[in-house]
């Protein structure tokens, strides 16, 4: 690291690689950037996060520093190079550095966002007040837009959707997914670890030990996030892996044999006491029918019965955004909620499916 003192602030000079080099550039050659010494804003099992401003562009950025195992490529870096979407934190640059012990660290230079969705929810819990339902709806729409892109274009499963990994700007209601440290491109022929995803948001097929699960685990996690925003606390606050399943069963009831088979056909262990489900309308007493139905569609035991990210976008729960007028329309337009890149977000659809989806997702005038 080269440090150049300027007054009381040290300026860091770094040779960095572009996160998304142009195809015309050929080899990704390093470029130099400078920024003031950084302030630590977060710690985790992964490493540290700093914030700073790049002198050359004036952009505020976050720098995520993680220990790099020399034997392997960094999967998070390889995945982030693939991703370019308005609702996903963008990889601007990356670089490697060694510490005094010879350990190699990877530094990811990312978009900066003011706070996490977890921090935003804590703000309302401490007031105390409910988070505005329209704000929740804007966040959830952007979350499912990003998941549709991840699942159907990049073929990436995030595997750790939770409020801490969703960054927001409370002034504009913008949302972006971050932290791809657990993300993976799932392949039907390859097994995956089932001990993944933070406990409160862990899909039931993972708790049942499935190793051939699908991107639908992200939809379950997203349903749990939405439920938490509405309730002000986690919906399924399990204290251990098995207790997590108990918390789910207390509300959704005991899964049927067919549902258990759909989650993990190899599961042969305990029989569960027969618990009847509690209607979600009783859990979410203040919410309208569309909201309750939407949660029901995202929190299904059977991953194939659970809505996909695209089905979530098409849900009538989001019609309010498509019918927006006045100030709400300004928010919808500024966030580009109803704008899609058809070559990436809907490339997996047939022409007939695309026509139907277009009709459903476009803005409509209420008469």
Q: What is the model's pTM?
A: 0.93
Q: What is the number of alpha carbons within 13 Å of residue 21 lying toward its C-beta?
A: 13
Per the prediction, the chain carries an average pLDDT of 92
Q: What is the pLDDT of residues 333-355, one digit of tens each?
A: 999 999 999 999 999 999 999 99
Can you tell me the distance from the alpha carbon of 228 to that of 226, in angstroms, rounded to the nearest whole number?
5
Question: Considering only 1-10, 48-57, 148-157, 223-232, which range has the smallest mean pLDDT?
Answer: 1-10
CA geometry: angle at 201 spanning 346 and 161, to 5°? 40
Q: What is the mean pLDDT of residues 8-20?
A: 87
Contact between 98 and 56 (Cβ < 8 Å): no
DSSP string, 261-329: HHH-TT---------PPPPHHHHSTTS-HHHHHHHHHHS-SSTTTSPPHHHHHHSGGGHHHHT--HHHH
Contact between 188 and 100 (Cβ < 8 Å): no
Q: Which residues are catalytic?
A: 160
Residue 365 has a pLDDT of: 62
Q: What is the mean pLDDT of residues 273-295?
A: 96
Confidence of residue 69 (pLDDT cuts 50, 70, 90): confident
Residue 270 has a pLDDT of: 66
Residue 137 in marked binding region:
no
The DSSP letter of residue 353 is: H
State the residue for tokens 């909620």: 337
- Domain range annotation of the chain: 13-111, 115-361
Residue 1 has a pLDDT of: 32
Let me know if the fold of 13-111 is the same as that of 115-361: no
Report CA torsion sign: 131, 137, 142, 145.
Answer: positive
Question: Considering only 31-35, 66-70, 152-156, 323-327, which range has the smallest mean pLDDT?
Answer: 66-70
Exposure string over 267-293, b if 16+ CB within 10 A, otherwise e: eeeeeeeeeeeeebeeebeebeeebbb
Residue 38 has a pLDDT of: 78
Question: Considering only 66-80, 101-115, 151-165, 181-195, which range has the smallest mean pLDDT?
Answer: 66-80
Which residue, 160, 29, 176, 47, is CA-closest to 112? 176
SS3 125: helix
Confidence of residue 37 (pLDDT cuts 50, 70, 90): confident
Q: Which fold has domain 13-111?
A: Phosphorylase Kinase; domain 1 (3.30.200)
Q: Quick check: 117 pLDDT over 70?
A: yes
Can you tell me the distance from the alpha carbon of 294 to that of 276, in angstroms, rounded to the nearest whole number?
20
Neighbours of 176 (CB within 10 A): 21
HEC sequence for 222-276: HHHHHHHHHHCCCCCCCCCHHHHHHHHHHHHCCCCHHHHHHHCCCCCCCCCCCCC
Q: In the numeric block, which tokens belong to residue 285?
A: 């007493």
Residue 6 has a pLDDT of: 36
Confidence of residue 272 (pLDDT cuts 50, 70, 90): confident
Q: What is the number of alpha carbons within 13 Å of residue 179 lying toward its C-beta?
A: 21
Contact between 330 and 136 (Cβ < 8 Å): no
Q: Return the percentage of the chain with pLDDT > 70, whole number.
A: 94
Q: Quick check: 366 pLDDT over 70?
A: no
Q: What is the number of alpha carbons within 13 Å of residue 272 lying toward its C-beta?
A: 20
Confidence of residue 255 (pLDDT cuts 50, 70, 90): very high
Residue 34 has a pLDDT of: 94
> Backbone phi, then psi, for 361, in 5-degree steps?
-90, -10
Can you tell me the distance from the alpha carbon of 348 to that of 53, in angstroms, rounded to the nearest whole number?
38
Task: Give residue 5's region: left, alpha or beta (phi > 0; psi -120 to 50).
Answer: beta
Residue 136 has a pLDDT of: 98
Tell me, rounded to whole angstroms, the distance of Cα 253 from its chain centroid.
27
Confidence of residue 162 (pLDDT cuts 50, 70, 90): very high
The DSSP letter of residue 30 is: -
The domain made up of 115-361 is a member of CATH 1.20.1250.20: no
Q: In the numeric block, which tokens belong to residue 209?
A: 């030990």
């Amino acid at each position: 690291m080269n440090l150049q003192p300027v007054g009381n602030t040290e300026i860091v000079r770094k040779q960095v690689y572009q996160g998304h080099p142009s195809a015309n550039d050929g080899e990704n050659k390093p470029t130099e950037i400078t920024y003031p010494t950084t302030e630590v804003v977060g710690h985790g099992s992964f490493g540290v996060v700093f914030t700073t401003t790049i002198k050359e562009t004036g952009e505020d950025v976050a720098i995520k520093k993680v220990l790099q195992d020399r034997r392997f490529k960094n999967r998070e870096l390889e995945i982030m190079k693939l991703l370019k979407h308005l609702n996903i934190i963008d990889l601007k640059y990356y670089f490697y550095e060694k510490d005094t012990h010879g350990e190699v660290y990877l530094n990811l230079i990312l978009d900066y966002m003011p706070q996490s969705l977890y921090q935003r929810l804590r703000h309302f819990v401490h007031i105390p007040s409910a988070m505005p339902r329209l704000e929740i709806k804007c966040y959830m729409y952007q979350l499912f837009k990003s998941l549709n892109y991840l699942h159907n274009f990049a073929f990436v499963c995030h595997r750790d959707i939770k409020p801490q990994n969703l960054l927001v700007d409370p002034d504009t209601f913008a949302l972006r997914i971050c932290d791809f440290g657990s993300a993976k491109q799932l392949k039907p022929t390859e097994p995956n670890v089932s001990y993944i995803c933070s406990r409160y948001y862990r899909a039931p097929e993972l708790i049942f030990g499935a190793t051939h699960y699908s991107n639908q685990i992200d939809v379950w996690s997203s349903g749990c996030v939405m439920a938490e925003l509405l309730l002000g606390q986690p919906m399924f606050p399990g204290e251990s892996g098995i207790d997590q399943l108990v918390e789910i069963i207390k509300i959704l009831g005991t899964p049927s044999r067919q549902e258990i088979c759909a989650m993990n056909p190899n599961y042969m262990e305990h029989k569960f006491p027969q618990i009847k489900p509690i209607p979600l309308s009783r859990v979410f007493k203040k919410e309208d029918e569309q909201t309750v139905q939407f949660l029901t569609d995202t929190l299904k035991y059977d991953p194939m019965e659970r809505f996909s990210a695209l089905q979530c976008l098409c849900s009538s729960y989001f019609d309010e955004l498509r019918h927006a007028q006045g100030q709400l329309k300004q928010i919808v337009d500024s966030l580009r909620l109803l704008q899609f890149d058809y070559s990436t977000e809907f490339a997996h659809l047939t022409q007939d499916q695309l026509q139907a989806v277009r009709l459903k997702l476009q803005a409509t005038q209420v008469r």
